[in-house]
Structures are given as structure tokens and as C-alpha cells.
Structure 1
Amino acid sequence: MDKYLITGGAGFIGSHIAESIRSQGHKVVVVDNLRTGFTKNIAHLDVDFVEGDIRDKELMLDLASDAKGIFHLAALVSVPESLQKISECLQINVEGTLNVLDAARETSGCKLILSSSAAIYGNNPQLPKVEHMLPEPLTPYAMTKLDGEFYLRMYSDQWNVPTASLRYFNVFGPRQNPDSAYAAAVPIFIQKALLNEAITIYGDGQQTRDFVYVKDVVAANMFALEKGTEVYNVALGHSATILELAERIISITGSKSHITFKPERAGDVKHSQADVAKFQSLGFVPKYDLNSALVETIAFYEQELLKK
């Protein structure tokens, strides 16, 4: 039985990684300060949960002891919040990541997988986004994720710490919080559709996103644990418009919702699509297309509504 540490493991993506590792019979330690995570996300799992913060260096050193791998997801993840709280964003996303890196460095053979972000590409109009593009981060969140990638590379070069960074595009799936002030489009659209309420799109709906299912993101993390030492895009490699997304959700749910449009939000990226050739060249291929992933996700939220 191997031991794995998941920072931010009570969150949306982290809880799915915890679930996958436990299903393989390994020991899982989850550390989360519950800023955006919920204990209910891991309540069904036999994991060791520690309510703590990655800014606590001694705690990170203690929890990482004897771990084979660390999946580092803990972060200040909201782009708008990062603009409002720049100093705190740096403390969590940079200093916290350095603490996690130091913990991996002190644990022989421990590999660190960083959850990074496509936000690093900014508004560069080049499509698809390829890993060797010049980064153009526009917010503290994006800048600190890029910092994390560089620090992982430095620790690998200087101290032989095994690392890999995964740039997620638009991740969705069960347990994503639709009630957050910074909630993503998919859970909001699904919740509105299930309640037959109006679905609001900002702009003309022709903006595109490269959506990727959370189970494929989990598979990407597990794959990166075994293969890969660089930065990799994690996405399907093709995009859908926001309008198409809303229409698919309405169709799958049989909803009576109608779509309304509001003015475009300042700072929103118009188009996003990943070049996934680099990760696929190592052997990683997502299993879910957009429709099958939406069907599974909608089924989850239907059950959640029945509980209320």
C-alpha cells in the first residue's frame, strides 16, 4: 500500500483524485483548509483528513513523510478574488507551493503533480494553445500558477525532485459547486435547467471553451504520476461554444428553460482550445466526450436536487 498526499483534497477535483486512489487500495491523506472544499466531498471515503493550510510548512513536511506522490491542488482558485486579494494569492499559491515542494524534496522518490491552469495563456489569440507559447498571464491567479510551474522545474533541476505540471482547461463534473460566487458555467447551467429557470449567457454565446470531464482530469493526474516530467495541457483538444453548451444541457435534461443574453463581461477570454499532442504523445487520451460527460454530470445534480 502506497501513501499519497492530496492538498485541496476536499475540493471538486481533489476529492475525485482521492476517490480514485482509494479505489486502488492506497493510503490517502487529504489536507484542506475548507476555504472552497467541503468535508461532504470525501465523507464517503476512507481517507485521513487534516484541516490545515499549505502555508504551514511544518505541517506539510509532516504530512508528506513517506508519501510516494503529492497531488497539489490547494490554491486560491478564483480569478476575481485573486485580483481583490493579491497578497493572499501570492502567499497561498506561491509560498504555499514552495512549502509543498520542500516537503516533496525531503521525501525520497516523492513526485509532485501540480494542478496548473490554461489561464496562463491569457488573451493570446493563437489557437490551439500549445505549451511552448509565450505565457501571457493577466491576473494574480494565472501569474502564480505560472510561478508554480517554474518552481517545479527549478526543484527538479536543482534537487532532482520528480515533478509534472498539468494545465487544465475548463474542467466540469460532479461536486462542482454551482452556488459559489465564482461558479463555472456548467454547474450553473445544469442547475438552472433542472429547475426550468432561465439560463443567462454573457455576450453572444459564440465564445468557445475546451471542456474536459473531471474523471479525465483524474486519469491525467494518475498518468502523470507514472509518466511525464514537464508541462502538459489537459483538455479534449476541441471546443464548444457557450451557446452550444447551454442548448445541449437543455436538450439532455428536457428542460423548459430559455436562454437569455446579457452584455459581455470585461476580461472574459473569447476563445479557448488546447493542443493536446504533447500529452497524447506520452500515451494519455481522454475517455469522455462532451455529451457522455454531461449526461453523467446531470445525473449527479438530479440526485442532489432530490436530497433537498
Structure 2
Amino acid sequence: MHYDSVRDSLRRQPRTWLVTGAAGFIGSNLLEELLRLGQTVVGLDSFATGHRRNLDEAVAAAGEGAADRFTFVEGDIRDLDACRQACEGVDLVLHQAALGSVPRSIKDPLTTHAVNVDGTLHMLTAARDAGVGRFVYASSSSVYGDHPGLPKVEGAIGTPLSPYAVSKRVCELYARTFQDHYGLETVGLRYFNVFGPRQDPDGPYAAVIPRWMDEMLDGRSSTIFGDGETSRDFCYVANVVQANVLAGRTASDATGTVYNIAVGDRTTLNDLFREMSQSLVAEGAMDATPEPAYADFRPGDVRHSLADTSAAHQALGYRPTHPVGLGLRKTVAWYVQDRASASS
């Protein structure tokens, strides 16, 4: 597998990586993988949505000596000085820090813009000035907006349906501009509904899988917005980690563009709820599968999403290793264990 050879190469020739949003869900999984590979890692986070325990868990899971190769900078990407500090001596940036959630962006577009657009512009500027070799950044399938085509192909996007979608599209444009004008190599990764261990179930804007997981484990009712036939290309976090590392080491002629990162399979919310509840029963966390409640569709939500990942396959060597079913089983097992550890 191509990813195995890239990991072997990194073990032989370690680099220094900056992970923004390192205390978050995706960022901490990236941190863990890079430290496992013997890399030196700088983490930047403000703890606005991330958690210090994610850093601790990632470093501990990476094994002996990992803590010695990790430096943490507590700072906000809206602060250019913090971005400059974090970029000092860094070879590659994996920019994950952002304010997610379509509903949150509709409620508060100013903060979404300040974090996602201004913050990304600060990071691009700091990386350029520090002589960083490669800038990999998280984009989103939300940029496809109202384009009806399935599967989603990188070159065919529609009108954004939320301030969050607008912010991610603007980041893509800025990244390409920095490559064209300043020579900073950039790679954008359009994530499709990422899930997995350490994804935060708390708060009004939690993603659907951790939110349902928390509700099911508490014996509370879970709500599906719409009729449940809305579908998504759910992507387990290990696939996203692979894509980021590959993007950091891909050939220069594959930079300056964006790639879909997903599994290439559609799951309805009804099917997702059923698979999650069955997995929890199989883990012994529930006695029987519950029935969901249904509510009105939410504004700004896309009806269907499915990725064409052929461009990432060809340019990056990306091959998802975890289909939805396997990812859900691993995620359920992690949440059950995490709940048990917290109560012991």
C-alpha cells in the first residue's frame, strides 16, 4: 500500500509538522499518528472547541518518547503573532483549526468568518513568511452547495448554502492564491462528514454521530431532522489522517488544488441510526435498539452527499482503509470504553 511506504519514508527521515487545532477531534488523531511515526510535532490550539485531554490521550497513545517530540502553543489563529510563533522551524503545516457547524454559522456568521477565513489567512501568511514547504488545509464538502450532481466532483460546485460553506470556499481561493503568488505549496482536503474517537458529543452544534452516541448511552431520545432519507458520505477519521499525511508528502505537481476525502459510499440517517444502535447492543451498552424521533429539516442542510475520490486516489495515492461499518464499530467501542473509564 502506498501509505505504508510513505510512513516508512517518514520514519527514516522525520520532519517537523505543525498541526493547528491539535486539541480537537481530527487534530488530535493527526497528532497521535505523526508522533507514532517518530515525527516532531508542534500543536496550536486555543481550546475554544478542543480539549486538553485530547492532547494527553494522543501523546500517551503514541508511545514512549512521544512527549519529548511534541511542543504545544496555546494560541488563537485569529492572532497573527501566535500563528507566527507556531510556524517557526516547521517543515509542513496541517491546518485543521476551524469553527464548524452549518447551524452555528447561520446564527453567528461573523465569528465563523473571523475564525475560518481570517484565521486561515493568518496561517497562510505566517507559513509563507516562515518558509514552510507545504500547507495542507481542511476544506469541506459543504462548498458543493446546491449543485445537484452525484457523486461530487471537485470541479463542479454550486452556490454555498451557509456562511460556513462560504468560509471554506474562500479558504480554498486564498490557498491557491498563496501558491500562485508566493510559491507556498498548498493542498486542500474536502472532508465529507468525518467521525471517530474523540469527536465531541457536547454542545448544541455537536456532529450527529457523537451526539447520538451520547444520547443512546444516556438512554435519551435521538432526533433525526427530516424524514431520515438524507444521506451522507460518512468518513472514519483514520482515512482523513491518511489523506493529510499523504498530502504532506505528495509530489509538487499535485499541489495547488483540492481533493475530496471520503469513502465513496452513501448512508442515510435512518441506516446510520440503525447501525449505531445495533453496534451499541452488540457491545452490551444497550439492551435493545431504540426508535428515533423526527423533526423538521434544518435550513442550510444539503439533501444528499457522495464523493468521487478518484482524484485523491490518483494524485495522492489515497485509499480509504475503513468503510462506514468498520469505522462505526471502532467508534462505538471507543465511546463505550471512554464512558466506562470516566465512571470508574
Structure 1 and Structure 2 fold alike (TM over 0.5): yes
Distance 1:80 1:291 in 2: 27
2:328 pairs with 1:294: yes
Match of 2:64 in 1: none
Aligned 1:255-294 pairs, distance under 5 A: 255=286, 256=288, 257-282=290-315, 283-294=317-328
Distance 2:300 2:124 in 1: 32
TM-fit CA distance, 1:196: 4.0
Match of 1:245 in 2: 272
2:256 pairs with 1:233: no
Tell me the SS of whatever aligns to 1:164.
strand
**Do the aligned residues in 1 keep the contact of 2:102 with 2:300 (CA within 8 Å)?**
no
The one of 211, 223, 246 aligned to 2:246: 223
Normalized per residue, the structure richer in helix is: 2
Aligned 1:89-238 pairs, distance under 5 A: 89-227=112-250, 228-229=254-255, 230-238=257-265
**Do the aligned residues in 2 keep the contact of 1:119 with 1:142 (CA within 8 Å)?**
yes
Tell me the SS of whatever aligns to 1:106.
helix
User: When the two structures are aligned, how many residues end up with a matched partner?
Assistant: 308
Distance 1:41 1:185 in 2: 20
Identity score, percent: 39
Q: Amino acid of the residue matched to residue 49 of structure 1?
A: F
Q: Amino acid of the residue matched to residue 73 of structure 2?
A: V
Distance 1:37 1:100 in 2: 18
Match of 2:9 in 1: none
TM-fit CA distance, 1:116: 0.5
Distance 2:22 2:260 in 1: 21
Q: CA RMSD in A?
A: 1.5
TM-fit CA distance, 1:252: 1.5
**Cα deviation 1:47-102 (Å, max 9, x = unaligned):** 22221011221221222112111111112222222223222222221221111111
TM-fit CA distance, 1:253: 1.5
Distance 2:129 2:215 in 1: 47
**Cα deviation 1:151-207 (Å, max 9, x = unaligned):** 111111111101100000110001111112111111122233334443321221111
Tell me the SS of whatever aligns to 1:37.
coil
2:80 pairs with 1:68: no
TM-fit CA distance, 1:224: 0.6
Q: TM-score, normalised by structure 1?
A: 0.96
Tell me the SS of whatever aligns to 1:42.
helix
Match of 1:23 in 2: 36
Larger CA deviation: 91-100 vs 293-302: 91-100
**Do the aligned residues in 1 keep the contact of 2:103 with 2:300 (CA within 8 Å)?**
no
**Do the aligned residues in 2 keep the contact of 1:197 with 1:258 (CA within 8 Å)?**
no
Distance 1:199 1:77 in 2: 21
Distance 1:191 1:9 in 2: 23
**Do the aligned residues in 1 keep the contact of 2:87 with 2:132 (CA within 8 Å)?**
no
**Do the aligned residues in 1 keep the contact of 2:20 with 2:94 (CA within 8 Å)?**
yes
Q: Amino acid of the residue matched to residue 206 of structure 2?
A: A
**Cα deviation 1:239-275 (Å, max 9, x = unaligned):** 0110001111111121422222223223321111111
Q: Amino acid of the residue matched to residue 234 of structure 1?
A: I
**Cα deviation 1:5-52 (Å, max 9, x = unaligned):** 111110010010111111111111111111100010011312222210
Distance 1:266 1:109 in 2: 39
TM-fit CA distance, 1:109: 4.6
2:114 pairs with 1:83: no
The one of 13, 17, 25 aligned to 2:26: 13
Alpha-carbon distance change, 95 to 27 in structure 1, aligned in 2, over 3 angstroms: same
| Structure 1: tracts of 5 or more residues without a match | none
Q: Amino acid of the residue matched to residue 218 of structure 1?
A: V
**Do the aligned residues in 2 keep the contact of 1:239 with 1:273 (CA within 8 Å)?**
yes
